[in-house]
Amino acid sequence: MTGTKPAYQLPKRKNRGKPPVHYDADLNAKRKYPINNYSRVHFVKQLADIPVPNSVTEALEDPKWKEPMNKEMRAIQKNGT
């Protein structure tokens, strides 16, 4: 078999070295309606709208913080931790 040609030879690839389109890094930028950008902005805006107290005194003055703190303290006392 030395010196004989194979019966069938595969064709040369034309895209050798080029990744397929579905591996494109900018695929998300090509979407018509990228919902991910909008949902992320909405989530961050909601977090920014929550006032965070700077001290325990401020937290105890705000009912939105006082009740959860009391609930947590009751749970800690109940568990004995």
pLDDT in tens, 23-62: 556 655 566 666 666 777 888 888 888 888 999 899 999 9
Alpha helices of 1-81 — where are they, by DSSP H? Answer: 35-48, 56-61, 63-79
The pTM of the full predicted model, rounded to 2 decimals, is: 0.40
Instruction: Return the pLDDT at 51.
Output: 84
Rounded CA-CA distance 31/49 in Å is: 30
* Segments of 1-81 assigned E as strands: none
Number of independent structural domains in the chain: 1
Provide the pLDDT for residue 26. Answer: 63
* Amino acid code (one letter) for 26: D
pLDDT score recorded for residue 49: 81
More reliable by pLDDT, 75 or 34 = 75
Residue 45 resides in a domain = no
Residue 69 domain flag: yes
Whether 38 is covered by a domain: the verdict is: no
Question: Which domain does 73 fall in, by range?
Answer: 54-80
pLDDT at position 5 = 74
Q: 21 pLDDT exceeds 60?
A: yes
Instruction: Identify whether 17 is part of a domain.
Output: no
Over residues 7-35, mean pLDDT: 66
